[in-house]
């Protein structure tokens, strides 16, 4: 066993804190467990006492308040000083027109809700079978309807898997599992803007192995039944979805071929691809060529802007082809508008692109830093936020 002193750990602030905490606990513990015979006692003077005995007894009559090991901690009260780590979050959702109500999903802490504009938060998912949330969506037509996809799709080696899709009809007070229990990891949920019973799910599938419950799923009856509407193979799953805000029959989907082990990552291959549907997800067409990289692809993020013709796709591909692609004709043709590696570094963990719902030229990319462009993706500036490692907006 290697033993280190606090002084040897001076370059590690957290370790110093723990070391000092240990010293405090030991000091308090030592005082509390002192045996009675070691406590100081007043000695009655007698004629038989010699001068030496009197001096010894006088020294032993000090009160406990002056003992060196007790004085520094006299009156000390315990209080919680941390850690206050809440874990990572991949998804947040709000209600259009309601600036006070928000939800977020933690990768290890379930779903949380705020009704006071994020001043305070309440956990609303603690009674369910999993605490890992991959995606959240609130129905725009009925804000009491909330869907949660469990299991995170940013597949680190230490992730927790989910057990399907949950639905709430009362704003998060109660939840019911409505299926896709073997999907294990959910990349995105989208609810039809005017019908809360129509929902699309990008299910990544087992992060650590092959399975068939992966790809793009659709329900037309609020989760009672699910259709697998886009499927490639047992090693490729759905990672992202985007719907045309002007026409919900038009959707874009990204499939990702990926496989995780505790110590390695297989990322990308022929199973990865970008797809488009014009009939509400019933059928899909893979988008290839016409300005897109030749492949193979890795992870892809996709977003539709306020103008239906503008579509953004953040594509992991071999240099120099990776980066942000843009279509101005609804996905028919594409061009690379920004290849900066800072926008798609560590792609298996990030690749999040979000289009502004009102301005077609404003687009955000979440990565180690958060980036915003106001010229259609040509130039990005960092958005100053308190923490690196960004996954949602």
User: 50-77 in b/e burial notation, b at 16+ Cβ within 10 A?
Assistant: eeeeeeeeeeeeeeeeeeeebeeeeeee
Does 265 map to a domain? yes
Write the Ramachandran bin of 184: left for phi over 0, alpha for psi from -120 to 50, otherwise beta.
left
Residue 277 and residue 168 in one domain: yes
Residue 152 and residue 38 in one domain: no
Write the Ramachandran bin of 291: left for phi over 0, alpha for psi from -120 to 50, otherwise beta.
left
pLDDT of the residue at 87: 74
Residue 374 and residue 233 in one domain: yes
Residue 39 and residue 108 in one domain: no
Residue 140 and residue 171 in one domain: yes
Domain hosting 23: range is 13-73
Please identify, among 41, 73, 105, the residue that sits at the C-terminal boundary of a domain. 73
Neighbours of 89 (CB within 10 A): 18
- Whole-angstrom Cα distance, residue 385 to residue 219? 37
List residues bridging with 218 in a β-sheet: 200, 227
Q: Give the pLDDT confidence of 253-291 residue by residue, as tens digits.
A: 999 999 999 889 999 999 999 999 999 999 999 999 999
Neighbours of 160 (CB within 10 A): 15
Residue 64 and residue 117 in one domain: no
- Whole-angstrom Cα distance, residue 266 to residue 57? 76
Secondary structure (DSSP) of 21-57: HHHHHHHHHHHHT--GGGS-------TT--HHHHHHH
pLDDT of the residue at 3: 40
Does 3 map to a domain? no
* Total domains, the chain: 2
Residue 116 and residue 239 in one domain: yes
Locate 223 and state its tokens: 């989760």
Q: pTM of this prediction?
A: 0.79
Instruction: Say if residue 183 is exposed, middle or buried (CB neighbours under 10 Å; 0-12, 13-18, 19+).
Output: buried
Instruction: Say if residue 393 is exposed, middle or buried (CB neighbours under 10 Å; 0-12, 13-18, 19+).
Output: middle
Does 78 map to a domain? no
Residue 145 and residue 35 in one domain: no
- Whole-angstrom Cα distance, residue 214 to residue 208? 13
pLDDT of the residue at 393: 87
Residue 347 and residue 241 in one domain: yes
pLDDT of the residue at 73: 60
* Residues lower than pLDDT 70 in the chain: 1-74, 78-86
């Amino acid at each position: 066993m290697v033993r280190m002193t606090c002084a040897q750990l001076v370059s590690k602030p957290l370790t110093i804190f723990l070391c000092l905490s240990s010293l405090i606990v030991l000091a308090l513990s030592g005082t509390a467990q002192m045996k009675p015979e070691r406590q100081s006692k007043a000695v009655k003077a007698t004629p038989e006492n010699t001068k030496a005995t009197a001096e010894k007894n006088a020294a032993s009559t000090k009160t406990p308040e002056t003992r060196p090991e007790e004085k520094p901690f006299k009156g000390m009260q315990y209080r919680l000083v941390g850690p206050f780590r809440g874990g990572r979050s991949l998804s947040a959702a709000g209600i259009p027109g309601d600036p006070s109500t928000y939800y977020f999903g933690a990768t290890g802490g379930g779903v949380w809700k705020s009704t006071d504009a994020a001043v305070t938060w309440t956990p609303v998912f603690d009674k369910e079978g999993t605490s890992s949330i991959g995606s959240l969506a609130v129905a725009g037509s009925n804000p009491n309807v909330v869907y949660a996809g469990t299991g995170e799709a940013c597949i680190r080696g230490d992730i927790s898997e989910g057990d399907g899709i949950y639905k709430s009809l009362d704003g998060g007070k109660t939840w019911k599992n409505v299926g896709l229990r073997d999907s294990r990891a959910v990349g995105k949920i989208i609810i039809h803007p005017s019908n809360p019973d129509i929902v699309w799910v990008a299910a990544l599938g087992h992060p650590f192995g092959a399975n068939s419950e992966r790809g793009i799923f659709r329900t037309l009856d609020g989760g009672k039944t699910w259709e697998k509407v886009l499927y490639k193979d047992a090693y490729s799953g759905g990672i992202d979805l985007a719907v045309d805000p002007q026409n919900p029959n038009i959707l874009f989907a990204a499939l990702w071929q990926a496989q995780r082990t505790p110590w390695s990552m297989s990322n990308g291959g022929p199973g990865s691809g970008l797809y488009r549907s014009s009939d509400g997800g019933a059928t899909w067409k893979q988008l290839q060529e016409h300005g897109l990289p030749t492949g193979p692809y890795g992870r892809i993020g996709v977003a539709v802007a306020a103008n239906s013709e503008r579509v953004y796709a953040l594509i992991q591909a071999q240099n120099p082809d990776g980066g942000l692609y843009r279509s101005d004709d609804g996905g028919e043709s594409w061009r690379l508008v920004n290849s900066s590696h800072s926008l798609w570094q560590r792609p298996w963990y990030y690749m999040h692109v979000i289009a502004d719902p009102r301005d077609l030229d404003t687009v955000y990319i979440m990565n180690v830093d958060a980036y915003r462009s106001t010229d259609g993706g040509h130039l990005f500036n960092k958005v100053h936020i308190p923490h690196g490692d960004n996954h949602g907006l």
